[in-house]
């Protein structure tokens, strides 16, 4: 490793709109940009064509490409800016690597078993019977104190006690 160079990995997603050669050419453009910024490409691996977990620019599939390279940290920002403006990659991520580069070993593709759905059978539509009401239960549930419509129930009047009577009762209680 040359003095001052830092190790990085870039994982780029390319659209599946072209042929295999066009996809490799897009990855080659990224490698050229690395060399133009004074970096060195250590390895370049075309990983796979695959489904994306969410749509990117209305695309559901992309080509994944991994490039391991060395570059001065001071020019990395300019390199990323050039990638954004170039527009070749749908998305990319640059990761700083500590230690040595590890060779990429692709895992076998996961084959999902086909989903077996049971045959849909529909039962004939049978409407539910209309609800029945128990009139006796409804009349028992009414509040017995409910006033008929139009009548207003008056509050019970409480007896009024005068102040002299209140003083007299207090003197009895206190024993004066």
At the topology level, CATH places domain 6-97 in: Alpha-Beta Plaits (3.30.70)
Q: In what order do the strands lie in the sheet with 40-56?
A: 40-56, 59-71, 6-15, 91-97
Domain boundaries, the chain: 6-97, 136-174
User: What is the Cα–Cα distance from 87 to 82, expressed in whole angstroms?
Assistant: 9
State the pTM of this model.
0.55
What value does the mean pLDDT of the chain take? 78
Q: Per-residue pLDDT averaged across 42-49, rounded?
A: 82
pLDDT higher than 70, residue 144: no
Q: Which pLDDT value is given to residue 84?
A: 86
Query: N- to C-terminal Cα distance for the chain?
Result: 109
Instruction: Specify the higher pLDDT residue, 115 or 127.
Output: 127
Q: Which two tokens stand for residue 40?
A: 């060195």
Instruction: Specify the higher pLDDT residue, 150 or 45.
Output: 45
Q: Which pLDDT value is given to residue 51?
A: 79
Q: Per-residue pLDDT averaged across 50-62, rounded?
A: 79
Output DSSP code: residue 67. Answer: E
Helix (H) or strand (E) holding 24: helix 20-36
- Half-sphere exposure of 125 toward its Cβ, with a 13 Å CA cutoff? 1
**Location of structure tokens 């006033």:** 147
Q: Per-residue pLDDT averaged across 81-93, rounded?
A: 84
Q: Which two tokens stand for residue 106?
A: 């692709």
């Amino acid at each position: 490793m040359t003095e001052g160079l830092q190790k990085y990995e870039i994982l780029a997603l390319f659209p599946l709109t072209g042929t295999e050669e066009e996809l490799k050419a897009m990855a080659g453009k990224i490698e050229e940009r690395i060399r133009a910024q004074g970096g060195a490409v250590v390895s370049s691996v075309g990983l796979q064509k695959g489904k994306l977990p969410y749509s990117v620019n209305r695309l559901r599939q992309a080509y994944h490409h991994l490039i391991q390279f060395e570059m001065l940290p001071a020019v990395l920002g300019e390199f990323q800016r050039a990638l954004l403006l170039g527009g070749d990659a749908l998305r990319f991520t640059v990761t700083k690597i500590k230690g040595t580069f590890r060779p990429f070993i692709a895992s076998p593709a996961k084959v999902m078993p086909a989903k077996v759905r049971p045959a849909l059978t529909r039962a004939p539509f049978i409407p539910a019977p209309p609800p029945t009401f128990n009139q006796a239960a409804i009349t028992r549930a009414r509040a017995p104190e409910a006033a008929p419509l139009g009548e207003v129930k008056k509050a019970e009047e409480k007896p009024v006690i005068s102040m002299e009577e209140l003083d007299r009762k207090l003197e009895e209680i206190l024993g004066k």
